[in-house]
Amino acid sequence: MKIYVTDDYKGMSRKAANILSAQVILKPNSVLGLATGSTPEGMYAQLVDWYRKGDLDFAAVKTVNLDEYVGLEPTHEQSYRYFMQHHLFDHVNINPANTNVPDGLAADPAAECAWYNQVIRDMGGIDLQVLGVGGNGHIGFNEPGRAFELETHVVNLKEETISANSRFFASRDDVPRQAMTMGIKSIMMAKKILLMASGEAKAEALRLALTGPVTPEVPASILQLHPYVTLVADKAAASKLEGLV
């Protein structure tokens, strides 16, 4: 695993944007697996900036997002489709038809997940998957204790994830209870992984994930078995990675 430790969030965002840009420059028709959340926001802002300066071209890029809440329409401000439009897609020359996020309003979420798996296969798999990590070690919405063997599937969110994400909703009751997420198997099939983490609140999750046993209790621990992971973390998030950095 290649590890970059930066001073702060800004540095993490810039380094992650560097890595994603390199991928797109070297392979303009890359399939990018994308994440939402606070962690990659700064990276997307940096990519938009470099696009505006003429340094990046998304014309042939294809994307596939990790996850989406069940029940939120694409225009809902807390939907992950909205997040992606707002932070990246609306600001660069990506072909909207080449962007994929599970449909939160799908009548049959399980069928939507099966379709999503086929979309990923038809694109030839993911070249570079961006990941954040939850304070409980989740990646995507793969919560602790779930099987490693799944591709995209419907999950019931854990209480701690509902609480963590309630900061974005008017009230805790407004947070959806289910989501569709790429499974650990889908994530592990990506050719390369870019794991990002910022802040002290992620330090223990990173320590468990990268220096502890590989266990479904810490979903991100599976990344120890992936052949090509790059971690970009700020000092605070990397503060407990003794022996690794």
Catalytic annotation, residues: 67, 136, 138, 143
Q: Determine the interface stretch with ligand F6R among 5-13, 30-38, 56-64, 213-221 (rule: CB under 6 A).
A: 30-38
Residue 39 touching ligand F6R (CB under 6 A): yes
Residue 140 touching ligand F6R (CB under 6 A): yes
User: Among residues 11 and 140, whose Cβ is nearest to ligand F6R?
Assistant: 140
**Is the separation of the CB atoms in 188 and 222 below 8 Å?**
yes
User: Among residues 104 and 140, whose Cβ is nearest to ligand F6R?
Assistant: 140
Residue 42's alpha-carbon distances to 16, 159, 166, 182, in angstroms, are: 9, 27, 21, 23
Strand order across the beta sheet in which 153-156 lies: 67-69, 178-181, 153-156
Q: How far is the CB of 186 from ligand F6R (least distance, A)?
A: 12
Q: Which of 96, 203, 189 is nearest to 140 (CA)?
A: 189
Return d(Cα 66, Cα 189) in angstroms, integer: 13
What does the per-residue mask of binding to ligand F6R show for 64-103, with x meaning CB under 6 A? --xx------------------------------------
Q: Determine the interface stretch with ligand F6R among 118-126, 128-136, 222-230, 234-242 (rule: CB under 6 A).
A: 128-136
Residue 38 touching ligand F6R (CB under 6 A): yes
Phi-psi domain of 26 (left: phi exceeds 0; alpha: psi -120 through 50; beta: other): alpha
Residues within window 153-212 making contact with ligand F6R, judged by CB under 6 A:
none
User: Among residues 93 and 156, whose Cβ is nearest to ligand F6R?
Assistant: 156
Under 8 Å CB-to-CB from 231, ≥6 apart: which residues?
1, 2, 3, 4, 195, 196, 197, 206, 210, 238
| Environment class of 111 (CB within 10 Å of its CB; exposed 0-12, middle 13-18, buried 19+) | exposed
Q: Determine the interface stretch with ligand F6R among 9-17, 19-27, 32-40, 99-107 (rule: CB under 6 A).
A: 32-40
Q: Which residues bind ligand F6R (CB under 6 A)?
A: 35-39, 66-67, 132-134, 138-141
